[in-house]
Chains A and B, each alone.
Chain A
Amino acid sequence: MASSRFATFMRGYGRLTIFMIPIGIAINFVGGQIALLLKLPVYLDSIGTILVGATCGGLPGALVGLISNGINSITSPPTFAFAILNVAFGLLAGYFGRIGVFRTWWKTLLSVLPFAFIGGFCGALITIWVFDGLAVGGGAIVVGALTAMGMDLNTANFAAQLPMDVLDKVPTVLIVYAIIKGIPKRLLVKLPLGRVYLGQPNPRAKKPVATTATQP
């Protein structure tokens, strides 16, 4: 029952999407690892989510985000509270992909603002709601320092997380843009949103999306 439903759902996205999801998850992790290795002051752990969202659609992207945070929470359970952000990145990337944001570099750069808003603003909200404003991670120390300087705890959370997220999302969307530019055409045609990047306003792509919406 459940298996056939998942199968029908995935079929609407074509054969390749199911194979792209693990790659997206791995990209999330490896991006973060290399950022650590190069001692960059950013996380860069949502490249895969946005990449899969932009090429395969919002739901596969959201799935990448959800599973990435799930795997992360095996070793660091508090991360799971932030899974909803990564899911939102995937959904938003799917929408942006569909309307062709990742086709031009300046539109891609502009997409940093909504992504950073989700990551920074909503991230701060979760920190405030779930952890009473005192979560863990690099930001916590900054928040603590700002509070010690006399800033209100909630303000300190927003002040610390918003700029950090802008800084994080600029390289993220740029590398997504660069990778999409580099995907060979023969692969792009097989990806659900590939037609956008091949410059074909193909009405055929509307059909599988509509059927998946009515299936479950």
Chain B
Amino acid sequence: MTNNAVAAVADRYRQPMTLGNAVLDIHPIAMVAGITALIVVGLASAGWIVPLAVSALFVGIAYLAGRGPSYLVTILKLWIAVGLILFALRALLVKGETVLVPLGPIAITREGIENGLRFTTAVMVICGGVTLFFAIVSMRRLMLALERIGVSPRVSYVILASFQAITDLGATARVVLDAQKARGIETEGNVFVRARAFFPVLAPVFLTAMTATEERAIALDARAFNNPGRHTSLLNLKPLTAVDTVLVVLSLVVAAAAVTGGILGWF
């Protein structure tokens, strides 16, 4: 690499990290406030239309952030896997006066459907907000923002290392599963046969992971991880901008208005 190229790379790390999208670049803390306010709006309403509208708004925000398609897939899966079951069970089992469809011992009632719609949309607005947040804000940026406001780097380490370890251990476990299959351990057949395969697959994977922690501890010690002073980081986060501040204030106002409105029965 020429000197110029090196300087360019170094310069990139001196600049605050930007993801090239106005929504993605919102400070993680402001994002927490904004999404929480929207969830509060959804929950404060007594009906099911407002939470549904907020859920739709979340999809819109995801598209603005350029994460639309993947978010839509995740949230639709959640609606089918969680929402539909929650709704169907309530519609079928909640007792009511107005019977719409009698089905032997149980019946679909108007009350059941209303209760189901309300509860399902309320749960799904929380699901939508949480998944949206993690679709937009990467764990790295979130932890960096939290470290800046005084959360211990050890907490960041635990969270970030967990995600890494889940990926790594998952991959190793699959490799060991194949290896043990090749050595003749039955992974098909009845439940007991399959359950017995569980031990020779997982025990070595978990043991290796546990013994590797020792080396990891030494590696981090060598990088002064346990130094009580302020840690530096490779990436910089933009400080809170005016837009972020406005967003936080606006969120507080909207959330407070929604709670008041919900209590007074405006919507």
* A interface residues with partner B (beta carbon < 8 Å): 1-4, 6-7, 10, 15-16, 18-23, 25-27, 29-31, 33-35, 37-41, 44, 47, 51, 63, 67, 71, 73-78, 131-132, 134, 136, 140-141, 144, 147-148, 150, 153, 171, 174-175, 178-179, 182-184, 187, 190
Contacts and interface: CB of A to CB of B under 8 A. Distances in A.
Given A34-B202, A35-B198, A171-B198, A75 B209 contact: no
B198 A175 contact: yes
Contacts of B123: 77-78
Summarize B's interface: helix, strand, loop or mixed: helix
A75 B74 contact: yes
Interface string B170-210: 10011001000000000100010011011101110111011
A34 B203 CA distance: 12
Contact of B78 (A4, A21, A40, A76): A76
Nearest to B129: A77
A20 B195 contact: no
Contacts, number: 171
Contacts of A29: 166, 169-170
A34 B197 CA distance: 10
Given A6-B155, A26-B166, A78-B123, A19 B92 contact: no
Given A23-B210, A175-B199, 13 more contacts: A7-B154, A7-B228, A15-B217, A25-B162, A27-B169, A27-B209, A34-B173, A47-B202, A67-B162, A74-B130, A74-B134, A77-B123, A171-B195
A23 B165 contact: yes
19 contacts: A7-B154, A15-B226, A19-B220, A25-B162, A26-B162, A29-B166, A29-B170, A30-B173, A30-B206, A33-B170, A34-B173, A34-B202, A71-B166, A75-B131, A76-B127, A78-B82, A136-B86, A179-B206, A179-B207
Contacts of A16: 213-214, 217
Contacts of A171: 195, 198
Contact of A76 (B82, B150, B177): B82
A204 to B, nearest CB: 21
B209 A26 contact: yes
A75 B194 CA distance: 28
Interface string B141-176: 000000000111111011101111110111001100
A40 B198 contact: yes
Nearest to A38: B194
Contacts of A23: 165, 169, 206, 209-210, 213
